[in-house]
Each structure stands twice: as C-alpha cells, then as structure tokens.
Structure 1
Amino acid sequence: MLSFFLLAFIVRGQAQQKQSLNYYSDVVLNKIEATLDQRNSIKSIRSELDLKLSDIKNNVGLSVDEIAAKNKQVYNEAFLKYNAVLSDEQKSMVKKLLFEVQLENVRNGHGTFHESDHFKKRMELFKTDPLPKKAIIFLGNSITEQGNWKSLFPDKAVYNRGIGGDNTFGVLARLDEIIESKPEKIFLMIGINDLGSRQWDNTLILENYNKIVDKIRKGTPKTRLYIQSILPLNDSLLKGASYRNKADTIMKLNNELQLIGDSKCAGFIDLYSLFHHGDNILDSKYTRDGIHLLPDGYSVWMEFLKKNKYL
C-alpha cells in the first residue's frame, strides 16, 4: 500500500529542504478544486485517522512492531477513503502533485527512504556475513531476499543482499558495502515496491536506477552488473490493492530498464517473459500471493541464468 504516513506532513519548505505532500491541506484541496461536501468528508476522514492514531499511541500493551503495523493499516485505510471521495480527475491531479514533490526532493538530493525495522535487521545480519572480494551478489527486495541463492548455486560464491520492502532509494543508500567488495557480478532487481507500496512514477524510478548504475560503474568498474526485469504480478491473488493494475506500467518500465541494461551495464535479463504465458500475469503455479515466488519459481530463475550462461 502507499506509504501515506511518510508523505502527510508539510506541503512545501524552502528550495533545498525536503518537501512532503499533505493530502488534507487547503493548498492541495484548493488545487484539486474540492467541493464543500468533499472537504467535509475529507475533514471527517482526517479526524477519524487522528483518533485511531491516538488510540494506538496510548495502547501501552502494543510492541513497537505492532504499533508500526497498526499505524500503517489505519493510514492505508484513510488513504483509500480519501481516494473514494475524489473524482478520477482529482486523483490524477493529486498523483501529479505527489510526483512533483518527489521529483523536487530528488533534484535537491533528498531520497524518500525509510529504514524499517526489517531493513535494520537485515543490515545487521549482513555484518555477520561480510562480502568477500569477487563474489556474486543478488541485490533487491523481498523477491531477492526469499531466494536461497547459495543452495541454488552451490558451486558459486553467491551472496543474498535482498531486503523485503526495499525500493530504489533503499538500494542506493546501501551500495557502499557492495561496491567496496568489488564483486564479480551483481544481479539487480528492484522497483516493484516503488510502483506498488510507494506509487512512484516511472520517471522517478528510472532516475534512481541511473544513479544506482552510475555509482556501481564508478566504484567498481570491472564488476559485471546485470539489470533483471521486474516480474509480472497476478492481480487475482494480490492482497494489496495498490499493486493491482500495474501490468502496463511494469512493461513500460522494463522497456526502459532494458535500454539502461544494454547501454550501461553487462546486460538486461528478461525474467518478466519467463514467468507469464503471453497474458502478462504471473503464473499462479509460481506464486501464492501474486507477487512473491514459490521454490519452483526460483528453480526456473536459476535454470534460466545457467542456460544463458549468466552464471
């Protein structure tokens, strides 16, 4: 779902300050020409949200992880209610405003990156399994994290640097460890959370991809960097509504990633085509939740890399 809680603070600061979009602000409501009825409904949604957040905060029996999960849930519920109040044209305007804020942050050197508890735990775990020189690294989000790469490639020095929930900003923020190890190969797959839970535009994602590629190329020029396509989704199995109806967007992004992979990297690896049968839907035999792969899916992935002599 959209990380609404990371964006609902200030509308604008000074030129070089980080900016955020407050969906409930008069600035936004004026720009989308919200009616009086819409404003009243949105005000009610905001009041309900604040009340729920207060109840969660005051519940001393909740753990830190439980508080975070409940906060995310109520923010996502509020965002869905907010969206339901708006017309399609207004939702498009809000999306455009959000993109403008994100793009301005990128241009001012501010990443929209949030260190989740899971991110921190994975980073601590990586310290206990340091990267040797000339390793092979799988880099990405939960789809990468859930791959048992050492078992899939037992004769290779393969290391898993996947973090569930990660996005292009997160990868960019944690490249130093990888670059310092001067790996032989990097297999990068990132972006589905940018499109889904973050609702970021392809232009922003591609800007980050170019930054990631450029930083790796500069820091370890002999490393063979492969960009792996974003996988298809299966909407009928997805629980998160924000990930649905992304097929066209994913295909367009993959087309752009292929250009980057072919022109600036060791190559582009089309896994998207591998996991659907002409319908742009992730084959249900490879997934239970519409986004993550079952073990058979990783076996297909592994065989494809071997067959095409990537590994």
Structure 2
Amino acid sequence: MKKHLIILVSIAFAACSSNSKVGKVQTSDTVLSIPDTLYPSSKLIVPTHNEWTSKNYPKMIKSFKANPLQLHDIVFVGNSITSQGRNWGERLNNKAIKNRGIAGDVTDGVLKRLGEINYIKPTAVFIEIGINDLLNDTLSPERTAKNIIQITKIIHQQNPKTKIFVQTIFPTNKTNLVDRIKLTNTIIKNHKSRGVFTVIDTHLLFADKNDFMQKELTVDGIHLNEKGYQIWVDCLKKYFK
C-alpha cells in the first residue's frame, strides 16, 4: 500500500510539472461591454448536446452575459467538472480567474462560445472538455481530440499571446470509456501543434492502477468530490507565478 501511494504521488508530481507559467494579469476597473453577437444565440442548436444540455446551455450563456468576462481575465473553460469547481478565483487566490464551465457541454458547444473569450484577450485559458463527447458512442476519440485541438488553434490565432493549457480527460468508473479516453488523450499529447498549448496531464492525478477514477476522489465515478478538487487545485497552483 505504501509503495502504491508513493507511485501515485510521483505520478501526480509529473502531471503537474511544467515550465509554462501564467504571468501577472493587468487588471482594469473598467467594465467591459461585450457585444451580444459574440455569444451563441439562444436559438442555437448544438446537435451533439443531449436533451438536458440543450436546455442548460442557453441558460448558462444568459448567465455569462449577465456576468461578462473582463479584459485579460484567466478563463477556465469546460463542462460540469469545471463548473462544479465554482469560484476558481477563490480556490487559486486570483480574482482574475473566471469560470466558464457548462454542465453537459461537449467540444462542439465550446467551439460555439469562443467569441466572448477571444474578445477579452485572455491572459490564459485552461481547457477541460471531452468526457461528454466520449459518453456518446457515436462520437469518436479522434473527433473529440480534433475538436479540442481546434479550440486551441482558434484561441491562438486570435490571441497569440494567450497561454493555453489543455487538461487531459479525467478517468471514470466506466470500463467502456478506458480505451476511448486513453486514445483521445494520446492524440492530444502527441499532436504536432503542442507549441500552441501546454498539456496538463490531469488524467494521471485521478487514475488508479487500473486507469479508473480513484474512488476516494469522486462522488459518482465521473465528478470530483472536494478532496478531488483540492488535488486539482494543488496541481494548478504550479502554473501560476
């Protein structure tokens, strides 16, 4: 047991080691007005959203409009795993960090809502997305990885100074997802455009020896409990000066 614990700690350290750091954010007291046209329309239909997400997505976009990002914020983009982290600025002691997680969202949904993010010229973007794609048997790991890489390209093209971090897809307790997650993460880590983004191998933080989510870190086999969030936060702290 002790040996196994040491191995897990070593893996977690490796997952969080990086020379890429988020620099100081030049904050402003001026409230930025973001054009409505940069947000997805309330009538937008994302075909890969399930029925529940198709209702939640426009609600969250409406909430984002009411609480717009500000110039040079640090944006956490993702699905429910990011969303349920709630106040990331408080967790990481950095008020410039804003949560743009949407429960149930998929890579197609993120691609449709990059307008707001690019408009504010973010200092950094942390991306956590893909598990809902892989839960859909009709969406392949190759397609999921391609979309994640496309998200980074769009951000980089419009804001080449923005630091982009892609967090690998977390493990789950579902046997049929092990190989799908592994392939998606492998494609991302081996992609030739690695210079555009930095990979944070968050999968390693939470995987047990069988590549399942560690039971003591989850509430349902997919989502994190508070202990899991603390491990994630401790990892991310290393990316901030």
TM-score by length of 1: 0.58
- In the alignment, the residues of structure 2 paired with residue 111 and residue 258 of structure 1 have an alpha-carbon distance, to the nearest angstrom, of 27
Following superposition, the deviation at residue 215 of structure 1 comes to 1.0
User: What's 2:124 paired with?
Assistant: 185
Following superposition, the deviation at residue 248 of structure 1 comes to 1.4
- Identity across matched positions, percent: 37
Q: Does 1:263 align with 2:194?
A: yes
- In the alignment, the residues of structure 2 paired with residue 144 and residue 188 of structure 1 have an alpha-carbon distance, to the nearest angstrom, of 9
Q: Does 1:301 align with 2:232?
A: yes
- In the alignment, the residues of structure 2 paired with residue 166 and residue 155 of structure 1 have an alpha-carbon distance, to the nearest angstrom, of 25
**Counterpart secondary structure, 1:207:** helix
- In the alignment, the residues of structure 1 paired with residue 233 and residue 177 of structure 2 have an alpha-carbon distance, to the nearest angstrom, of 25
| Greater RCO structure (CA 8 Å; 6+ sep) | 2
1:270-309 alignment runs, 5 A limit? 270-306=201-237, 308-309=238-239
The structure that has the greater radius of gyration is 1
- Contact 2:129 2:169 (8 Å CA) reproduced: yes
Alpha-carbon RMSD: 2.0
- Contact 2:170 2:203 (8 Å CA) reproduced: yes
User: What's 1:253 paired with?
Assistant: 184
User: What's 1:112 paired with?
Assistant: 47
- In the alignment, the residues of structure 2 paired with residue 299 and residue 120 of structure 1 have an alpha-carbon distance, to the nearest angstrom, of 30
- Contact 2:106 2:129 (8 Å CA) reproduced: yes
Number of matched pairs: 193
- In the alignment, the residues of structure 1 paired with residue 203 and residue 128 of structure 2 have an alpha-carbon distance, to the nearest angstrom, of 11
Following superposition, the deviation at residue 202 of structure 1 comes to 1.5
Consecutive unaligned residues of structure 2, counting only runs of 5 or more, are: 1-44
- In the alignment, the residues of structure 1 paired with residue 151 and residue 117 of structure 2 have an alpha-carbon distance, to the nearest angstrom, of 12
Given residue 70 of structure 2, which amino acid in structure 1 is its aligned partner? P
User: What's 2:154 paired with?
Assistant: 215
**Counterpart secondary structure, 2:165:** strand
- In the alignment, the residues of structure 2 paired with residue 279 and residue 206 of structure 1 have an alpha-carbon distance, to the nearest angstrom, of 23
Question: When you count helix as a share of all residues, which structure comes out higher?
Answer: 1
**Counterpart secondary structure, 2:76:** strand
User: What's 1:165 paired with?
Assistant: 104
- Contact 1:226 1:265 (8 Å CA) reproduced: no
Consecutive unaligned residues of structure 1, counting only runs of 5 or more, are: 1-109, 236-243
Change (3 A) 1:224 1:260: farther
Given residue 196 of structure 2, which amino acid in structure 1 is its aligned partner? C
Given residue 119 of structure 1, which amino acid in structure 2 is its aligned partner? Y
Following superposition, the deviation at residue 279 of structure 1 comes to 1.9
1:89-100 alignment runs, 5 A limit? none
- Contact 2:219 2:225 (8 Å CA) reproduced: yes
Given residue 304 of structure 1, which amino acid in structure 2 is its aligned partner? C
Given residue 143 of structure 2, which amino acid in structure 1 is its aligned partner? L
User: What's 2:167 paired with?
Assistant: 228
Query: What CA deviation, in whole Å up to 9, does each residue of 1:226-273 have, x standing for no partner?
Result: 1000000013xxxxxxxx411111111111111348624331000111
